[in-house]
Chains A and B, each alone.
Chain A
Amino acid sequence: NAGVTQTPKFRILKIGQSMTLQCAQDMNHNYMYWYRQDPGMGLKLIYYSVGAGITDKGEVPNGYNVSRSTTEDFPLRLELAAPSQTSVYFCASSYTGSTGTDTQYFGPGTRLTVL
């Protein structure tokens, strides 16, 4: 299993540009998450999904969009990049069933700089 994969690893954007951060998992997990981590700060939840076709906002959703057309993929879209979106972005997945939620598995992260 590859686990949780993210692309790209690094990206520099100009203000106003758009991009999509890709995330995929091959563990058949139903839950997927997008977090951002600003320097010296904790992880903040941007969006999450409890299954294909279902997404919901986290703590800091403004400026982002997500979709979940398949169980495996959970892309994060930045429509109009702003310097405040400079951060490291982590995707994670977990399985939640009748016995509760399993541990989260994290991708390697995408370091995004907006200039």
Chain B
Amino acid sequence: KNEVEQSPQNLTAQEGEFITINCSYSVGISALHWLQQHPGGGIVSLFMLSSGKKKHGRLIATINIQEKHSSLHITASHPRDSAVYICGVRGAQKLVFGQGTRLTINP
């Protein structure tokens, strides 16, 4: 079993829909990261959180430490949100990543 599991692996939705991507992990962590990888390959860090909830524009990230689970939500989704979203957990010095969720938003 992978230390970090994301679901779904692929998600296609219509513009305007509310999107949820899930991340479950099996190890103790000090922080969890959400990354966005654009179709061109570049990687941008969206959030780093260790408890509660963070919001940036239309993106919201939550984490439940007891349940070892995090969600990334996108409100009013737009085609430019199409990307791969990657969850990573930090234990000790290192980050371990999930395989990513490929999101496609159709106009």
Contacts and interface: CB of A to CB of B under 8 A. Distances in A.
B93 A50 contact: yes
Interface string B72-103: 00000000000000101010011111111000
Interface residues of B, number: 23
A74 interface: no
B99 A42 contact: yes
Interface string A75-114: 0000000000000101010000000111111101101000
Q: How large is the interface on A (under 10, 10 to 19, 20 to 34, 35 or more residues)?
A: 20 to 34
Interface string A32-64: 010000001111110010100000101100000
Interface of B is mostly: strand
A104 B95 CA distance: 10
Contacts, number: 54
Interface in B18-71: 30-31, 33, 35, 41-45, 48, 50
Nearest to A45: B94
B94 A43 contact: no
Contacts of B43: 90, 92, 106, 109
A40 to B, nearest CB: 8
A105 B45 contact: yes
B44 A42 contact: no
Interface of A: 33, 40-45, 48, 50, 56, 58-59, 88, 90, 92, 100-106, 108-109, 111
Nearest 10 interchain pairs by C-beta: A106-B43, A42-B97, A42-B99, A43-B97, A103-B45, A103-B48, A104-B45, A109-B41, A45-B94, A42-B98
